[in-house]
Structure formats: structure tokens, C-alpha cells
């Protein structure tokens, strides 16, 4: 009887130990799993910290090199690129040559850059190479001067102001200073320059619709060169002694026209206006050879163009009408018809505010 009782106790104890052993195993397994997960999390975090940050390459291409206007646009572009972590490289032809611009773009397509932001020298001639870039996956944004929208397929154009507001502004400014009678000469950069040609059409429209006492006597090319514009303006003044107003329709042309009027001692007889940068025009505003001119903040133009380009690259916008994006310190913008983003209305620069600007 004692042997049977002892045997029962042994069996009972053995079962209990087995059960305790079985119950003890899951916590050990859970503990091991938790430690493994912790180690995996640390490893993942370290991998994320050491992973290289994607570099976004942007080619910034004005019409040509060495122009104060385009240099100030670049300053704004570089400001935005720094804020956005974009690697910006400026490259442009030495002269305003669309053939050279096409060659540069073709090279950058081959290199596989991410973004090309350019001011077109000729809207039609440059369209095929832009189409090639777009088809290759490069995000192309035009600024200052557009390419043909349909032929190029470019998704975005950053317009400094609307063509209409800027073009109409010159006859309005002339009437403000001269009154209702004016005989006007215009010196543009190139007849093929997309922005100048459109501004000229709106100048003509404004005169026809609202200024019956105005006459546009002649339009000549100044070739984006101050010395050429100087000679062209002199020749025009000699050809039209009745002329009492000149519009210099580019940043280098306007100072050339102002210098011509100054050297011919006609500052009291001929009103000079147009579009240029404050730094180029300060001496002419102050000596009276130019009373007032129109432009926009060129630094802001470069800044806005890079923000728009990065939003396009990131897929936040596509260039469709109604797309909205944030442009840093400049706030929210909306894409308009044909992928156009208008920065804002033009500004009048004169002796009262010329010293407030440094670009």
C-alpha cells in the first residue's frame, strides 16, 4: 500500500514539473522576439539616417550671360534652391542666340538632369528641343520669355506679369507724364523675342483703343545690347524730329535709349520709358533722361520659378489650370490657362522710389 502511494506521488510530481516547464517556455520566446524586434528597429533607423538624400539637379538658363537683369533673377533662383535643397547650376549662351541655347539644352538632356528652367530666345525655334526634353522625362519650366506652348509641350511658364498689363502700361505712363499727344518710337530687343513681341501688340492695342492723340512712328531692334540700342535710338531721333517719346523695351535697351537722349541734349524734349532694372536706371532717373519706367521684382521672379519647378518635379502640380502650390515667402499661387503662372502687376519706378530697390 505504501509503495502504491509513493508511486502515485511520483507520477503526480512528474506531471506537475512537466506542466510548469511547458508554461515557462512562451515568456522566454516572447522575450527573445521583443529583443529581436528592438534590434531590427535600431538597425532600420541607422540605415535611414545614413541613406543618401536625393539630389535634385536644376539647370538655370537665362537668354544670355552677363546681364544685370538676369543676374538678379538668378539671385532669387539661388535663394529658393537653397531653401528647397535643389542643386542649381546656371548656364547660358554668351549672346542671345537660340541656336546655342538649343545646343546647351540637348547636352543637358543627355546628362539626365532633373529640371531645366529657361528664358527662351525664340519661342518657335526652341520648341522642338523642349519637346525632346519633356519626352525624356526632364521637367521643363519657362520663365521671363515663353516657348510655343503647343509645340513644346512645356508644362509651366512663370510670367513676370501679364502681357496685357505690361504692354498697356507704357502708353498709360506716357499720357500720365506727357498728356494726350505723343509721337512715339520703340526700340525692342529682337522682333522674335516672345515677351517683347507680345508687349508690343498690347502697346498698339492700348494706343488704338484709348489714345487717339498717340502715334507709334517706328519700331526697331536694339539686340539686347546697350551700345547698339544707343545707336539705334540716335538714328531714330534723327529720322523723326517730331518724336517726343521713346519706349526702350528691354533691360539693356532702355539705358541705351536714355543715354542717346542725354548725349543729344534732348532730356526736356523726349520722354523716355520702358523696362529695365533699378540699378541700371538710377543715374538716368536722377539726371532726368528717364522719368519713369516699368518692371517687376526680378529677384522674386527667379525665386517663384524655382519653387514652381520643384513643385512640378515633386508631383504636387502638373501644369493643369487650377493647380495650386506654395512659393515660400511669396505665398500661394494658382496655375492659369496653358500652364501660365502670373507673378503680379508691374511696378512703376521713378525718382521717388528708385533708391528703395537694389537689383
pLDDT the model gives residue 166: 97
15, part of any domain: no
Q: State residue 7's pLDDT score.
A: 34
**Contacts of 62 by beta carbon, 8 Å cutoff, 6+ apart:** 70, 73, 74, 90, 92, 118, 119, 144
Question: Cα separation of 262 and 81, whole Å?
Answer: 41
pLDDT digits (tens, 9 = 90+) for 6-41: 333 333 434 443 433 443 444 444 444 545 554 554
Q: Based on the domain organization, do 148 and 223 belong to the same domain?
A: no
284 with 180, same domain: the answer is yes
Same domain, 306 and 264: no
- CA 246, CA 221: separation in Å to the nearest integer? 13
Share of the chain above pLDDT 90, in %: 82
- pLDDT exceeds 90 at position 322: yes
Average pLDDT (55-63) is: 97
For the segment 297-314, the average pLDDT, to the nearest whole number, is 97
Asked whether residue 126 is domain-assigned, the answer is yes
265 pLDDT more than 80: yes
The verdict on 126 and 198 lying in the same domain is no
Mean pLDDT on 305-332:
98
177-214 pLDDT tens trace: 999 999 999 999 999 888 899 999 999 999 999 999 99
pLDDT over 70 (residue 295): yes
Say yes or no: 289 and 310 in one domain: no
Q: Classify residue 16: in a domain, yes or no.
A: no
String of DSSP letters for 4-35: HHHHHHHHHHHHHHHHHHHHHHHHHHHHHHHH
Same domain, yes or no: 71 and 134:
yes
Q: Contact at 8 Å (CB) between 249 and 188? A: yes
Mean pLDDT of 156-177: 97
CA–CA distance, 293 with 245 (Å, rounded to integer)? 12
How high is the mean pLDDT of the chain? 89
Give yes or no: residues 195 and 248 share one domain.
Answer: yes
Note the pLDDT tens digit of each residue in 89-122.
999 999 999 999 999 999 999 999 999 999 999 9
Question: Residue 169: which CATH number?
Answer: 3.40.50.2300
Note whether residue 108 is domain-resident.
Answer: yes
Structural domain tally of the chain? 2
pLDDT by residue (tens digit) across 335-351? 999 999 999 999 999 99
Which residues lie closer than 8 Å to 96 by C-beta, 6 or more apart? 63, 64, 121, 189, 190, 223, 224
Say if 111 falls within a structural domain.
yes
Structure confidence by residue, pLDDT tens digits, 241-255: 999 999 999 999 999
Mean predicted confidence (pLDDT) in 260-268: 98
Task: Note whether 173 and 269 are same-domain residues.
Answer: yes
Yes or no: say if 354 and 342 are a contact pair by the CB < 8 Å rule: no
Residues 63 and 147 in one domain: yes
Indicate if 225 and 281 belong to the same structural domain.
yes
Show the domain range for 155.
Answer: 56-160+298-344
In this structure, the answer to whether residues 264 and 221 fall within a common structural domain is yes
Alpha-carbon span 255 to 261, nearest angstrom: 10
Domain annotation covers residue 358: no
Does residue 174 surpass a pLDDT of 60? yes
Predicted confidence at residue 358, as pLDDT, reads 87
Is 195 within the bounds of a domain? yes
Q: Give the model's pLDDT for residue 39.
A: 53
**How many Å apart are CA 105 and CA 135, to the nearest integer?**
13
pLDDT in the model for residue 8:
32
The share of the chain scoring above pLDDT 70, in percent, equals 85
What pLDDT score does 194 carry? 86
Alpha helix positions (H), the chain: 2-50, 68-84, 98-111, 127-135, 149-152, 163-178, 194-210, 226-239, 253-263, 278-287, 298-313
In a domain, 18, yes or no: no
- Band (53; pLDDT cuts 50, 70, 90): low
Report the candidate in 167, 200, 157 with the shortest Cα–Cα distance to residue 346. 167
- 284 and 213 in one domain? yes
Per-residue confidence band for 149, with pLDDT thresholds at 50, 70 and 90? very high
Q: How confident is the model at residue 3 (pLDDT cuts 50, 70, 90)?
A: very low
Amino acid at each position: 500500500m505504501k509503495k502504491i502511494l509513493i508511486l502515485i506521488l511520483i507520477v503526480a510530481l512528474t506531471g506537475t514539473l512537466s506542466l510548469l516547464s511547458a508554461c515557462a517556455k512562451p515568456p522566454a520566446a516572447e522575450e527573445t522576439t521583443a529583443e529581436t524586434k528592438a534590434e531590427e528597429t535600431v538597425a532600420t533607423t541607422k540605415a535611414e539616417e545614413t541613406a543618401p538624400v536625393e539630389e535634385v539637379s536644376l539647370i538655370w538658363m537665362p537668354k544670355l550671360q552677363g546681364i544685370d537683369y538676369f543676374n538678379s533673377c538668378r539671385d532669387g533662383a539661388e535663394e529658393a534652391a537653397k531653401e528647397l535643397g535643389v542643386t542649381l547650376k546656371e548656364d547660358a549662351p554668351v549672346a542671345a542666340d537660340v541656336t546655342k541655347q538649343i545646343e546647351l539644352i540637348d547636352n543637358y538632356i543627355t546628362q539626365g538632369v532633373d529640371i531645366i528652367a529657361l528664358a527662351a530666345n525664340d519661342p518657335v525655334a526652341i520648341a522642338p528641343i523642349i519637346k525632346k526634353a519633356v519626352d525624356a522625362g526632364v521637367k521643363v519650366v519657362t520663365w521671363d520669355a515663353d516657348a510655343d506652348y503647343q509645340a513644346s509641350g512645356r508644362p509651366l511658364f512663370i510670367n513676370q506679369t501679364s502681357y496685357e498689363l505690361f504692354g498697356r502700361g507704357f502708353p498709360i505712363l506716357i499720357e500720365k507724364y506727357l498728356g494726350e499727344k505723343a509721337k512715339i518710337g520703340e526700340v525692342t530687343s529682337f522682333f522674335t523675342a516672345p515677351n517683347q513681341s507680345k508687349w508690343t501688340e498690347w502697346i498698339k492695342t492700348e494706343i488704338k483703343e484709348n489714345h487717339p492723340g498717340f502715334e507709334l512712328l517706328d519700331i526697331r531692334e536694339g539686340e539686347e545690347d546697350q551700345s547698339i540700342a544707343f545707336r539705334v535710338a540716335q538714328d531714330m531721333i534723327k529720322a523723326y524730329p517730331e518724336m517726343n517719346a521713346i519706349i526702350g523695351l528691354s533691360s539693356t535697351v532702355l539705358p541705351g535709349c536714355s543715354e542717346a537722349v542725354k548725349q543729344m541734349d534732348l532730356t526736356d524734349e523726349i520722354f523716355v520709358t520702358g523696362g529695365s532694372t533699378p540699378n541700371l536706371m538710377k543715374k538716368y532717373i536722377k539726371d532726368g533722361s528717364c522719368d519713369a519706367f516699368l518692371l517687376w521684382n526680378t529677384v522674386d521672379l527667379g525665386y517663384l520659378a524655382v519653387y514652381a519647378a520643384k513643385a512640378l518635379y515633386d508631383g504636387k502640380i502638373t501644369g493643369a489650370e487650377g493647380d495650386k502650390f506654395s512659393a515660400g515667402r511669396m505665398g500661394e499661387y494658382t496655375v492659369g490657362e496653358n500652364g501660365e503662372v502670373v507673378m503680379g502687376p508691374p511696378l512703376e519706378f521713378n525718382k521717388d522710389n528708385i533708391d528703395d530697390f537694389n537689383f
